[in-house]
Amino acid sequence: MLPQLLAVTVLAKAVALSAFAAGPAPGQIKNLVTFGDSYTDVDGHADGGIMWPVFASEDGNFGLFPFAKSGATCSNNLTDRPFPSVFESQLPTYFAEKANGSLTALKPEDTIYTLWIGTNDVGVGALLTGHQTPGVTVVDTVTCAVNWVQTMYNSGARNFIFQNMIPLETTPLYSADSYPNRYWTAQRNTTEWSVFMKELTTSGNAIARLELQLLAPTLHGAHIGFFDSHSLFADMFARPQLYLNGTAPLNVTGAVHSCVFQLNESTGDPGVCTDATGTDQDSFLWYDELHPSVQAERVVAKEISDAIHRRSEKWITWLS
C-alpha cells in the first residue's frame, strides 16, 4: 500500500499548492508544440493518413509546431537507435529555431508543449530485447522523459502535456498471439514478450506520474497535464463501439494494414499483406502491428484539444 499512500499524499500536496490555477484557462492556449516519436510525427504518417497533431490543431484552432520524429526514443545515450531522439535531435532543433528567431510567435502563456514518447524506448531494439546501453532500465528512460519538462521549463516554456505510454501489449506486435511482422521476424516467445511489455508500460507510467507529481510543485507558474493515453487506449480496446465507426466489423486485434512474414524473413521484405480500404478502415484500432489507426488518432486529437480548452478532464490530470 505504501506507493499508493505516497502517491495520494504527494498529489494532495501538489493540488493544495496549485489549487488556484491548475491547468491553463479555457481559450488561453493558441499554439501546440509537439515532441515524440512516430505516434506524433506529422510527416511520418505512421497511421497511414493524418496524424493527431494536425486533427488537434484543427479541432482546437492551434498553430502547430511539430518536432516529433519517427523512430525516436527519449535519448540515444540510453537506447541507441539510428533515429532523431528527443534530447539529441528534437530539442537541439527546437533551441536552434528559437535562437534564430523562427519561433518568436510562441509566447509562454499561450503555448502548450506536448511529449508522447516511450514506445520505442521500451520496445524491440531497446529495453524489451536488451539493446539498451548496459545498465539502463525503464527508470532511466522515463526519468529522461520527465526531464524534458524541466528542460523546457528552464528555457521559458510554461504549459505542458505529458502523454503516457499506451498498453503496448495490446498492439499486434506485442500481443500474446502475435505473428512474424515488419517489426520482428526472429524466433520469440510471444507470451513472454506480452507479459514483459505490460510490466514495462504499467511500471513506466507509474514512475512517470510519481516523478511529475514531485516535480510539478517546484516549477513556479507552470501548468503540467498528465494525459492518460494508457487508459484511453485500454478503453478503446475494451469498448471499441464508443470510438470506432467504420463499416467493417469492429477490430481491435488486427490492423488496417497487416503483413504476415515468414519466421526469420528479412524485415525489409514486403510480407503478405491484408489491407482494409475506404470506410472499413475506421473499424480498426491499429493501422499496422505497432501504430494506431487514423480513427484512433482522431480520438486522441479530440481528447487533447478538449483537455487544452478545458472542455474535458476525462483523460487528463492537471498536476499544476
Ligand X SMILES: *[C@@H]1O[C@H](CO)[C@@H](O)[C@H](O)[C@H]1NC(C)=O
**At closest approach, how far in Å is the CB of 203 from ligand X?**
18
4 vs 187, beta carbon nearer ligand X: 187
Rounded CA-CA distance 86/74 in Å is 5
Whichever of 223 and 291 has its CB closer to ligand X, that residue is: 291
**First-residue to last-residue Cα distance in the chain:** 25
The three cell numbers locating residue 107:
509566447
Degrees (nearest 5) of the Cα angle 241, 246, 248? 95
Smaller CB separation from ligand X, 71 or 254? 254
Question: What's the closest the beta carbon of residue 84 comes to ligand X, in angstroms?
Answer: 12
- All cell numbers assigned to 29: 492556449
Q: Which is nearer to ligand X, 39 or 94 (CB)?
A: 94
For the CB of residue 80, give the shortest distance to ligand X in the complex, in Å.
11
For ligand X, the closer CB: 123 or 246: 246
CB of 52 to ligand X, least distance (A): 12
Residue 232 dihedral angles phi and psi, to the nearest 5°: -65, -45
- Nearest approach in angstroms of CB 242 to ligand X is 11
- The span from the CA of 149 to the CA of 2, in Å, is 26
Shortest distance, position 158 Cβ to ligand X, whole Å: 22
Binding interface with ligand X (CB under 6 A): 75, 77, 87, 93, 96-97, 100, 102, 144, 187, 189, 191-192, 245-246, 249, 251, 253-255, 258, 263-264, 274, 279, 282, 295, 298
Question: Length of the chain, please?
Answer: 320
Residue nearest to ligand X (CB): 254
E strands, 156-204, in order = 159-163
In the complex, least distance from residue 163 CB atom to ligand X, rounded to whole angstroms: 19
- Nearest approach, Cβ of residue 209 and ligand X (Å): 21
Q: Which is nearer to ligand X, 12 or 186 (CB)?
A: 186
Write a three-state SS string for 200-244. Answer: HHHHHHHHHHHHHHHHHHHCCCCEEEEECHHHHHHHHHHCHHHCC
Residue 133, sorted as left (phi over 0), alpha (psi -120 to 50) or beta, turns out to be beta
Count the neighbouring beta carbons within 10 Å of the beta carbon of residue 43. 10
Nearer Cβ to ligand X, position 204 or 217?
Answer: 204
Buried b (16+ CB within 10 A) or exposed e, 92-119: eebeeeeeeeebeebeeebbbbbbbbbb
Burial 226-251, CB ≥16 within 10 A → b, else e: bbbbbebbebbbeebeebbebebeeb
How far is it, in rounded angstroms, from Cα 128 to Cα 157? 33
Output 22 or 236, the one with its CB closest to ligand X.
Answer: 236
